[in-house]
């Protein structure tokens, strides 16, 4: 897989904003990607040094909506989340630094 296929998008939540100061960043990644592939992709795209990668599979939420026709049940997509910690000697990722 190509580096840009592995890293789908940055994950911007309240909890992820706290980690930016400590060089900890969150990304939505391809479900088939391994930790080593994610590490290489982040290093290639952002030109940084990665210390460690933690991954977890997030299950989609079930959503219900009441309409005139009755109750409709749907589900959001499942996705894989990667939490990437950079080395102390590495420079921060510029995209995230502009947000804080």
pLDDT in tens, the chain (100 residues): 899 999 999 999 999 999 999 999 999 999 999 999 999 999 999 999 999 999 999 999 999 999 888 898 999 999 999 999 999 999 999 888 887 6
CATH number reported for the structural domain that contains residue 88 in this entry? 3.30.70.330
**Per-residue pLDDT at 99:** 75
**Per-residue pLDDT at 100:** 62
Q: Considering the entire predicted model, what is its pTM?
A: 0.87
Domain with 53 in it: 3-97
What total number of domains does the chain contain? 1
Sheet containing 79-86, strands listed edge to edge, beginning at the edge strand earlier in sequence: 7-10, 24-29, 79-86, 50-58
CA distances from 39 to 50, 61, 84 (A): 6, 28, 8
């Amino acid at each position: 897989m190509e580096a840009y296929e592995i890293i789908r998008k940055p994950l911007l939540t309240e909890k992820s904003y706290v980690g930016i100061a400590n060089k900890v960043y969150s990304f939505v990644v391809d479900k088939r990607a391994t930790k080593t592939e994610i590490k290489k992709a982040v290093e290639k795209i952002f030109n940084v040094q990665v210390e460690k990668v933690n991954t977890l599979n997030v299950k989609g939420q079930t959503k219900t909506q009441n309409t005139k026709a009755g109750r409709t049940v749907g589900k959001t997509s499942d996705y894989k989340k990667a939490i990437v910690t950079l080395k102390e000697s590495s420079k921060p990722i510029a995209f995230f630094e502009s947000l804080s």
